[in-house]
Amino acid sequence: MADVNRGNRPLSPHMQVYRLPLAAITSIMTRITGHALVAGILLLVWWLVAAVTGPQAFAAADWVVRSWIGFIVLTGSAWALWFHALAGIRHLFYDSGKLLRIEEAERASWAIIIGSVVLTLLSLILFFFA
């Protein structure tokens, strides 16, 4: 029998061209932020250990923490921490069978994205002006 439908069949999503839904993007971002937080924790623990090692060690670590490198790492970590925390709270809702409908998951994704940015800006304002 001739294949009359050639070239017109539905295809399974191909990773290179498939546009991930927002809930999928925020889901993989949870894993990425969780693992990336290792940079911030390493910087802070190095800084704490340097503080009990000696004045020279502390001067070096404190310089990095207060430099633009430290600013980028710690601000990035603050955002990653807020994002991961909000996404983790969403997982607690998922586990209890809530927010699982597509529109709800979509709305929760926006709440996580906007919430994490707002909380990071709030943290920076609190740090620099309070």
Which residues contact another protein (rule: CB under 8 A)?
A: 31, 34-35, 37-38, 41-42, 44-45, 48-49, 51-52, 55, 58-59, 62, 65-66, 74, 78, 81-82, 85, 88-89, 91-92, 95, 123, 126-127
Report residue 19 CA to chain centroid gap. Answer: 20
CB of 23 to another protein, least distance (A): 18
Residue 90, class by beta-carbon neighbours within 10 Å (0-12 exposed, 13-18 middle, 19+ buried)?
Answer: buried
Question: Which residue, 102 or 122, has its beta carbon nearer to another protein?
Answer: 122
Instruction: Provide the minimum distance between the beta carbon of 102 and another protein in the complex, in angstroms, as a whole number.
Output: 24
Determine contact, residues 58/111, Cβ cutoff 8 Å.
Answer: no
Q: Measure the CA–CA gap between 42 and 64, rounded to whole angstroms.
A: 12
> In the complex with another protein, which residue's Cβ is closer, 35 or 98?
35
CA 105, CA 5: separation in Å to the nearest integer? Answer: 35
Nearer to another protein among residue 107 and residue 123 (C-beta): 123
